[in-house]
């Protein structure tokens, strides 16, 4: 049955039905008597699903749907020989259903991609031997070895080795996090550099990645489909229509008037009022590089009173760059420090090293060849450059190697760290010569966008996995007042649910895999489509394909205008139906002219909705 309904409601079959109705109308107007009225094609193709759902409503769901009223009107029209009226009603309802279907389609491929990130095997150490085993065979307390470039199979704790872990999948942090013995690691995160041994602490469904997948699945289930407004009214709309038709028959004694009432009472214009407005609004947004996946999301966006932002890749570009160069030695210039560091980091694979060498190339600086290059995961790099021993790394590591810091360098270091920047100390022959600070870059439109949101009576907060200092620095630059930092995906969801419990309508804006549960949990999820992960885009209701966050206030204005237009179109449709019922009662309209009246009402609603497409909201 599902295949039959899908085939009959396809665009191709709707076009065939439309052609048959057009031919039937031409025959009626020209007086041509065909052996079989072409309108039967539309009645059968478009009417089948209407009758089917009317029966499902009565006998299975025990509910009255608008399809029942349409079925009654079709049967009554056929009974008195008005096939055109029956076919026209069925066709318009089919068109309305197709429009609604297109606007409410949701993509569900993201969950499959999220599941694909889960590691399938782990390397267990037992009795001094290594063996690869399926992840589902790993038990709590097992010792596992993870090599560079591999995904960590379960949640655990490092017991030996130093490394840097890319845990952006869980926290959204733009930088790999240095890890050593005693530090926690999460399932699905990537070990970037050193080999480490970990003890498994949370396995199977208890691991962080599996919980992330579970949260997305639950959020999917909790997203109730949007119900058409006419179906909400159907329980009293059908009895009223039948009552008026019965009154018309007994008052006039003419069955044709009763049938005409049923024909014009069909809520065709009412059905088209919402989907056509939504289609126009979605088309308007698409012109500006915004993909809106459902009419429900568009409607909810207008109700949003607080927007929560992820930091990396959302308020910022998600790309590291050298932000500060501080000289600690008299006569040593910024270019000297940068050139020296780039000479060592040229052989490093660490993102910080790549940022330094890239920045040096942009400045056109000369770098010297290095010898005896060494990388200590989680600490820094060393090499010989021009006969001098050069170290680039953390302050603690340089101190371990006998590098002395003055009071000025300690103060500069503290200030940069308070700004949430990644800091590398450069030393030459045991003497600290400079500091390189690296930071993500905030989007220039962020501050104005936050200000524009406030003019729309909408607050803005930051929800990020980054460290508190980093979060506070960027929040202050963008003008956000609420800052919630160092959050795992589950904690972001908790914070969103907390805000929702306070009666807030929340829009979550993010770009990473770790944002997917939060995007699903929020009233409206909005993803950065240009650089955002596929999973985040699939999880979201709205995608900013050009990563232009300045469009968020525009979306609120568009949503408000769309909701107002829908309400106006519904009112217009009801007025049209009221007048048609009155004219049918008086005998002015027949089933044929009543069906044509349908077209006039439907066209007015569609044309009014189309005006939304070209309106200016920016």
Give CA–CA dist 240/393, Å, rounded: 79
Length of the chain: 618
Give CA–CA dist 318/312, Å, rounded: 5
Contact 556, 302 (CB under 8 A): yes
Give CA–CA dist 369/223, Å, rounded: 58
The structure tokens 């065979």 sit at 137
- CA torsion sign, 489 to 297 to 104 to 548? negative
- Residue 370 tokens read as 């290095």
- Residue 181 tokens read as 């013995």
Contact 29, 84 (CB under 8 A): no
Enter the DSSP assignment of 433: E
- Residue 99 tokens read as 């429009």
Q: Number of C-alpha atoms within 13 angstroms, CB side, residue 311?
A: 37
Beta bridge partners of 125: 130, 143
* DSSP H or E run through 602: helix 591-610
Q: Number of C-alpha atoms within 13 angstroms, CB side, residue 99?
A: 24
**Of 310, 459, 515, 548, which is the active-site residue?**
310
Q: Number of C-alpha atoms within 13 angstroms, CB side, residue 437?
A: 19
Cβ neighbors of 540 (< 8 A, separation 6 or more) are: 293, 510, 519, 525, 526, 527
End-to-end CA distance of the chain: 47
The structure tokens 């002219």 sit at 593
Active-site residue, 136 included = no
Contact 173, 209 (CB under 8 A): no
Q: Residue 117: how many CB atoms within 10 A of its CB?
A: 18
Active-site residues, by number, are 310
């Amino acid at each position: 049955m599902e295949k039959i309904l899908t085939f009959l409601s396809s665009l191709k079959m709707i076009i065939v039905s439309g052609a048959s109705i057009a031919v039937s109308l031409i025959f009626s107007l020209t007086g041509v008597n065909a052996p079989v009225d072409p309108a039967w094609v539309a009645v059968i193709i478009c009417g089948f699903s209407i009758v089917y759902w009317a029966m499902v409503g009565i006998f299975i769901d025990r509910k009255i749907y608008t399809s029942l009223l349409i079925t009654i009107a079709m049967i009554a029209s056929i009974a008195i020989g008005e096939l055109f009226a029956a076919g026209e009603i069925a066709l318009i309802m089919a068109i309305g259903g197709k429009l609604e279907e297109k606007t409410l389609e949701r993509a569900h491929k993201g969950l499959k991609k999220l599941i694909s990130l889960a590691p399938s095997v782990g390397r267990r150490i037992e009795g001094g031997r290594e063996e690869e085993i399926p992840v589902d065979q790993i038990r709590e307390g097992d010792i596992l070895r993870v090599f560079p470039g591999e995904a960590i199979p379960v949640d655990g704790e490092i017991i030996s080795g130093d490394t840097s872990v890319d845990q952006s999948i869980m926290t959204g942090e733009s930088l790999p996090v240095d890890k050593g013995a005693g530090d926690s690691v999460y399932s699905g995160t990537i070990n970037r550099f050193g080999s480490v041994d970990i003890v498994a602490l949370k396995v199977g469904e208890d691991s962080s990645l599996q919980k992330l997948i579970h949260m997305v699945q639950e959020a999917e289930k909790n997203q109730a489909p949007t119900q058409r407004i006419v179906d909400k009214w159907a329980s009293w709309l059908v009895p009223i229509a039948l009552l008026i038709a019965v009154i018309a028959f007994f008052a006039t004694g003419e069955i044709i008037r009763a049938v005409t009432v049923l024909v014009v009472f069909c809520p065709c214009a009412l059905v088209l009022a919402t989907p056509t407005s939504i289609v126009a609004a979605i088309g308007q947004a698409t012109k500006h590089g915004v993909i809106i996946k459902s009419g429900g999301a568009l409607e909810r966006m207008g109700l949003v009173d607080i927007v929560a932002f992820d930091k990396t890749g959302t308020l910022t570009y998600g790309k590291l760059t050298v932000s500060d160069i501080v000289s600690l030695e008299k006569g040593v210039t910024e270019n000297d420090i940068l050139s020296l560091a780039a000479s060592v980091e040229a052989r490093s694979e660490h993102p910080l090293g790549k940022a330094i060498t890239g920045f040096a190339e942009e400045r056109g600086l000369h770098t010297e060849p290095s010898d005896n290059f060494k990388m200590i995961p989680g600490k820094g790099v060393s090499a010989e450059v021009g006969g001098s021993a050069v170290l680039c790394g953390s302050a603690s590591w340089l101190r371990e190697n006998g590098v002395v810091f003055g009071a000025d360098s300690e103060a500069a270091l503290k200030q940069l760290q308070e700004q949430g920047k990644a800091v590398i100390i450069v030393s030459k022959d045991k003497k600290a010569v400079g500091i390189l600070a690296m930071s993500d870059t905030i989007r220039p439109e962020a501050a104005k966008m936050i200000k524009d949101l406030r003019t729309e009576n909408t607050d803005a907060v930051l929800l990020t996995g980054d460290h508190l200092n980093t979060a506070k620095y960027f929040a202050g630059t963008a003008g956000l007042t609420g800052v919630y930092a160092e959050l795992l995906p589950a904690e972001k969801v908790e914070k969103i649910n907390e805000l929702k419990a306070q009666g807030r309508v929340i829009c979550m804006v993010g770009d990473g895999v770790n944002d997917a549960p939060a995007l699903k949990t929020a009233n409206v999820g909005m993803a950065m489509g240009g650089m955002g992960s596929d999973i985040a885009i699939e999880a979201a209701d709205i995608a900013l394909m050009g990563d232009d966050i300045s469009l968020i206030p525009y979306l609120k204005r568009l949503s408000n205008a769309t909701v107002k237009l829908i309400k106006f179109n519904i009112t217009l449709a009801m007025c049209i139906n009221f007048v048609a019922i009155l004219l049918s009662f008086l005998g002015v309209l027949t089933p044929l002219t009543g069906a044509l009246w349908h077209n006039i009402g439907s066209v007015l609603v569609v044309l009014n909705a189309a005006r939304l497409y070209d309106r200016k909201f920016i």
